[in-house]
Structure 1
Amino acid sequence: MRVGKASDTGSERVGTMREGTLDQKHLLFGEDGSPNNYDLNMGLTGGGGWRTPRHRHNFDQIRYVIQGTLPYTENDVLEEGWVGYFPESIHYGPQERPEGLRTMVLQCGGASGGGYLSVAQREATNAELAKTGEFKKGKYHYTDADGVAQVQDGSQAIFEHATGGKLEFAAPRYTDVIAMNPEAYDWLPQGGVGVWEKWLGSFTERDLRIGLLRLDAGAVYQAGQHPSIEILFQINGQVNAGGEKYGPETGYEFLANEGPVPVEAVEPTEFLRAVLHKF
């Protein structure tokens, strides 16, 4: 088990690839080079909002709205408390995120096995590219070796510079972002006394699973009993795990078949839960 607490994590300002102000707290990172590499973070939109053009990624994203409303196209939003699955290769945006929006984001390698380029790699590459071009409105503007002006999506430019290869997109498995309203689901008993779950969905042939977990006071959840990495994000309450007490905005990683690892609720507690793709 690994744990990352927002209260112990400093905020980092996202780089200049996009427009606006976005501060992030990175709770947990996966393993570079792994198809299940990931980044669990919390984002806060600052003054002036945050804007992105319509774009897509070669990795998956799961977004949970902690506070506010998250637009993911000109007409579609995730309401507070909703969860969105943004599959690899699917276009979304443009986005105009309002000031004060708070979200949890889990970015991870998609079912194609292409993995996920870590934050450290992206930010270092961002700084390098800024020496030879300019990021404007989510696009990278530069002059090629023949003196011709070129424009690329910012994330594509960073990926190709960091890896030395062309950014390839897997055939899309879905046609759009999948927006989920947890309030429309029923809590079902998970097995242990006082342990409840809502599985919002299972996605792709590699069985990415997204759901919520609820523990009554005194209930124990036996974590880490899945065939791939299990991630928990604590929404509220207080638990004991590994001899320590943890409160809201804490992230937990359990490796494949690491468990059972007991997580005991001191008071009623809820988590967002994700089980990453099986490779």
Structure 2
Amino acid sequence: MRVSKASDTDSERVGTMREGTLDQKHLLVGEDGSPNNYDLNMGLTGGGGWRTPRHRHNFDQIRYVIKGRLPYTENDVLEEGWVGYFPESVHYGPQERPEGLRTMVLQCGGASGAGYLSVAQREAVNAELAKAGEFKKGLYHYTDANGVSQTKDGSEAIFEHATGGKLEFATPRYTDVIAMNPEAYDWQKDDSGVCEKWLGSFTERDLRIGFLRLDSGAVYQAGQFPSIEILFQINGRVSAGGEEYGPETGYEFLANEGPVPVEAVEPTEFLRVVLHTF
């Protein structure tokens, strides 16, 4: 088990790849080179908002809106408390995020096994590319070896510079972002005071997204899935590994690491994600 509290995590300003201001707290990160590499972070949109063009990634994203409304196209938004699954290879945007928007984001390798390029790797490349070209409105503008001006999506430019290869996209398994309203789902409760609310299972590799709620005194036995289990604590207080934790805490349990007891000191709710099984 690994645990990370937002209150103990420094805030970092996202680089110049996109337009606007976005500060992030990176709670937990996975293993570079693994198909299940991931980054669990909390984002706060700063003054002037945050904008991206329409684009796509070769990795998955799961977004939970803590405060505000998250636009993910010109016409579609995730409401406060909603969860969005942004599958690899699926286009979304343009985005115009308002100041003050707070989100939890889990970026992770998708079902194709292409993995996930870590933030540390991307930010290092971001700085290098800024010396040879310019990021404007989410696009990278540069001059190629033949002296011809070129434009490329900022994320694509960073990936290709970091890996030295062409960014390839798997055939999309879905046609759009999947927006989910958790309030429309019912809790499934057992006699032990552990309540589950699964929003969905995705792809042949069984990515699972849902919520977990513990009554006071209830014990959840974590880490019993065949892949990495991630919990993000929304409220309440729990005891785990001899320590107590409150809201905005992230937990990682490796595949079949459990059972690891997590006991609710008071009623507590988590967002829960089980990463793809490879």
TM-score by length of 2: 0.98
- Residue 204 of structure 1 deviates from its aligned partner by 0.1
Give the secondary structure class of the aligned counterpart of 2:172.
coil
- Residue 53 of structure 1 deviates from its aligned partner by 0.2
Q: Distance in 2 between matches of 1:38 and 1:164?
A: 21
Q: Distance in 2 between matches of 1:207 and 1:133?
A: 40
- Residue 147 of structure 1 deviates from its aligned partner by 0.3
- Residue 277 of structure 1 deviates from its aligned partner by 0.2
- Residue 132 of structure 1 deviates from its aligned partner by 0.3
| Deviations, residues 170-213 of structure 1 (Å, cap 9, x unaligned) | 000000000000000000xxxxxx00000000000000000000
Q: Distance in 2 between matches of 1:198 and 1:76?
A: 24
Q: Distance in 2 between matches of 1:267 and 1:71?
A: 34
- Residue 127 of structure 1 deviates from its aligned partner by 0.3
Q: Distance in 1 between matches of 2:75 and 2:218?
A: 41
- Residue 151 of structure 1 deviates from its aligned partner by 0.3
Aligned length: 273
Map of 2:12 onto structure 1: 12
Q: Distance in 1 between matches of 2:137 and 2:17?
A: 8
Q: Distance in 2 between matches of 1:198 and 1:176?
A: 23
Moved over 4 A (4+): none
Give the secondary structure class of the aligned counterpart of 2:258.
coil
- Residue 71 of structure 1 deviates from its aligned partner by 0.2
Q: Distance in 2 between matches of 1:98 and 1:131?
A: 29
- Residue 148 of structure 1 deviates from its aligned partner by 0.2
Map of 1:256 onto structure 2: 255
Q: Distance in 1 between matches of 2:229 and 2:98?
A: 31
2:93 maps to 1:116 = no
Identity score, percent: 91
Give the secondary structure class of the aligned counterpart of 2:48.
strand
- Residue 3 of structure 1 deviates from its aligned partner by 0.5
Q: Distance in 2 between matches of 1:147 and 1:226?
A: 53
- Residue 86 of structure 1 deviates from its aligned partner by 0.1
Q: Distance in 1 between matches of 2:183 and 2:266?
A: 21
Q: Which runs of 5+ in 2 are unaligned?
A: 188-192
- Residue 47 of structure 1 deviates from its aligned partner by 0.3
Give the secondary structure class of the aligned counterpart of 1:158.
helix
| Deviations, residues 201-246 of structure 1 (Å, cap 9, x unaligned) | 0000000000000000000000000000000000000000000000
- Residue 44 of structure 1 deviates from its aligned partner by 0.1
| Deviations, residues 234-273 of structure 1 (Å, cap 9, x unaligned) | 0000000000000000000000000000000000000000
Q: Distance in 2 between matches of 1:36 and 1:85?
A: 16
2:108 maps to 1:74 = no
- Residue 43 of structure 1 deviates from its aligned partner by 0.1
Give the secondary structure class of the aligned counterpart of 1:212.
strand
Give the secondary structure class of the aligned counterpart of 2:235.
coil
Q: Distance in 1 between matches of 2:48 and 2:147?
A: 35
- Residue 9 of structure 1 deviates from its aligned partner by 0.3
TM-score by length of 1: 0.98
2:39 maps to 1:44 = no
| Deviations, residues 152-178 of structure 1 (Å, cap 9, x unaligned) | 000000000000000000000000000
Q: Distance in 1 between matches of 2:222 and 2:231?
A: 9
Q: Distance in 1 between matches of 2:14 and 2:150?
A: 24
Q: Which runs of 5+ in 1 are unaligned?
A: 188-193
In the TM superposition, what are the counterparts of 1:125-140 in structure 2 within 5 Å? 125-140=125-140
